[in-house]
Amino acid sequence: MEPELKRLLGISSEERVAGGCIHDCYRVSIRGATRFLKCNSSAYGDAFAAEAEGLAALRAAGMRAPEPFAHGVAGGRAYLVLEPLDLKGRKDFAALGRMLAQAHRKPGPRFGWHRDNYIGATPQPNGWCDGWSEFWMERRVRPQLELAKRNGFAIDPPKTDLLENHRPAPSLLHGDLWSGNAGFTAEGPVLFDPAVYYGDREADLAMTELFGGFPREFYRAYEEAWPLGEGYRLRKHLYNLYHLLNHLNLFGGGYLAQVTATLRLLAPG
């Protein structure tokens, strides 16, 4: 770890730990308190600032999330200091479903967020929109298709009117809710690594079904707290297209078959 960063934060001890596929992560002691520290190149300074803000927003909405303490750039390295989590609690997915449904009920002003942030390492535009269909297609699908074209993948936009008459209330979303971004402490479920914005709650639920999914009790508890609307079973594919395109752009052609299959599911007729 860079000496300048250790001096700035007052780190007296450090231990390298897991916790980020693209970041260097440490359990550190800062002025007698144990903290979780994420570091990367200075280019990640804005991403860490967005993550800290997103975690604070999740906490304000009633979701359990690690408290962010500090972020910045020092010694050519970006850093984010967080509350450490002991993820050895009972895996109570029903409690996670109830927590998410309760937080989703808190409405936002419009669709979007007051700043852009990141979905993984990809910039995520969040300019405000009054209509959900406009937001999803212009702020989510279109930028990923344009990026895919620059990466050598010519993909036509989905020909669908699924969102034309779908008018959800804007809910605060985690935004990147797959199983790797949820865990359990002794106090209950906890979420981390968000990509927050105000959107259709179904987009969060849809992503939980990607990459392994969550257990059945999670969905049962969520729907008992707030049933999903008619049409979710088809709309979820349009929502997950965004994440599949992002993985195509981040990791390459191994995701092209899933993108193509999802577009077939969305084809009219």
Residues labelled catalytic:
176
Q: How far is CA 233 from CA 117, 193, 226, in A?
A: 28, 26, 16
Query: Is there a contact between 19 and 25 (Cβ–Cβ < 8 Å)?
Result: yes
Q: How far is CA 98 from CA 8, 21, 73, 194, in A?
A: 40, 28, 37, 18
DSSP 89-122: S---HHHHHHHHHHHHTSB-SSBB-SS-EEETTE
**Regarding beta strands 33-41 and 77-82, do their DSSP bridges make them parallel or antiparallel, or are they unpaired?**
antiparallel
Query: Is there a contact between 77 and 42 (Cβ–Cβ < 8 Å)?
Result: yes
SS3 79: strand
Q: Is 92 exposed, middle or buried (0-12, 13-18, 19+ CB in 10 A)?
A: middle
Element containing residue 124 per DSSP (H, E): strand 122-124
Query: In whole angstroms, what is the distance from residue 151 CA to residue 252 CA?
Result: 9
